[in-house]
Structure 1
Amino acid sequence: MIAALVVAALPACSYPQSALAGDSAQAVEKHYSTSETEIGVLLDNPEAKAVLDKHMPGFTANPQVSMARGLTLAGIQQYSPDTVTDEVLAEIDADLAKIPVK
């Protein structure tokens, strides 16, 4: 009897939006970031792409950038530590924070 009441009450419960099944990480983000946002998402947003061009000239025009679309900038730092420095990532994050997620 108690189990039936609990099960009956479940649909009426309110869950936080982020707890719902099917939420994507991008939908939960409030802004783009170098550690959470995939490079492909940044490249597809003209404002975010401009930020990348500003801080890493030539990065978005590199023919190999398409291979990194599913990675984050923080994730590729290990492959290019001289270009993708902590300082550069911090500067990019500061600019990305000003761009609303679409």
Structure 2
Amino acid sequence: MPYTLNSTVREILADERAKAIIEKHMPGATSHPQLSEAMYMTLREVAMYPESGLTPQKLQAILDDLAKL
């Protein structure tokens, strides 16, 4: 399954390889106390929140790595 900006956090974290990519770029994100609130949000939606720390560059790096799966 190709991952895009429209993939949900839940879909991404269900794949251990994709989960590792998220951890690589955002250490601690997969164990964040508020993670459950974002599970049905897309990457695009999560990136709209400044507190996510997802800069355009970081988001693109994640998408580039996810595309290799």
Instruction: Give the one of 10, 27, 50 matched to 1:80.
Output: 50
Determine whether 1:96 maps to 2:37: no
CA-CA distance at 1:80 after TM superposition: 2.2
Return structure 1 stretches of 4+ with deviation > 3 angstroms. none
Q: Runs of 5+ in structure 2 lacking a partner?
A: none
Q: TM-score, normalised by structure 2?
A: 0.89
Is the contact made by 1:38 and 1:69 (CA closer than 8 Å) also made in structure 2?
Answer: yes
Structure of higher RCO (CA pairs closer than 8 Å, 6+ residues apart): 2
Q: Runs of 5+ in structure 1 lacking a partner?
A: 1-29
Give the letter aligned to residue 56 of structure 1. M
User: What percentage of residue pairs aligned between the two structures are identical?
Assistant: 36
CA RMSD of aligned residues (A): 1.5
Aligned length: 69
Q: TM-score, normalised by structure 1?
A: 0.62
Alignment of 1:1-102 (within 5 A): 31-33=2-4, 35-80=5-50, 83-99=53-69
Greater fraction of residues in helix: 2
